[in-house]
Amino acid sequence: MTKRPSSDGTHGRFDAFRLARGRGSLDGIVDAATLPRVADTVLEGPAPIAWRIEGTQDAFGRPALTVALDGDIALECQRCLQAQTWPVHTRTVLVLARDDADLVRLDADSDDEVVLAAAPLDPAQLVEDELVLALPYAPRHADGECAPPPDEAPNERDH
């Protein structure tokens, strides 16, 4: 992938600890079809996903972020190969680690996800990470909702 310009002005990297302390928030809309690790899964774009990152703390008062995603993505059903709308509505708590040792300790210690925030974080990266986790590995319609295979004529055997 080409490198994106680092100064697009709106959503650059941010200091996660400062956001957590100040209970700040960032939000925006991303087209899932443009995210490198998700693009192959998305059947058709644009697939706008609204995201919001909020500074907070976990149940133990440790600095954390919540990452919330909302939107619909068209995926290809692995059974009938037709489009399937997959709703994405997630809200994830990420506990902030100050360094690698902190990361290991928190990871062993916490039920929440842990993210290394020693350096400023890229919101687009966090959003993409969560979206990868939110999408199914093999999307499929619910039973009985698949389109009939186009190359198989209905097999009628009435008397």
Residues at the interface with Zn ion (CB under 5 A): 77, 79-80, 141, 146
Nearest residue (CB) to Zn ion, 52 versus 79: 79
Select 77 or 97, whichever has its Cβ closest to Zn ion.
77
State the nearest-atom distance from the C-beta of 86 to Zn ion, in Å.
12
**Alpha carbon distance 69, 74 (integer Å):** 15
CA distance 52 to 19: 12
User: Which CB sits closer to Zn ion, 36 or 154?
Assistant: 154
CB 47 within 8 A of CB 74: yes
Within 13 Å, how many C-alpha atoms sit on residue 3's CB side? 3
CB atoms within 10 A of CB 15: 15
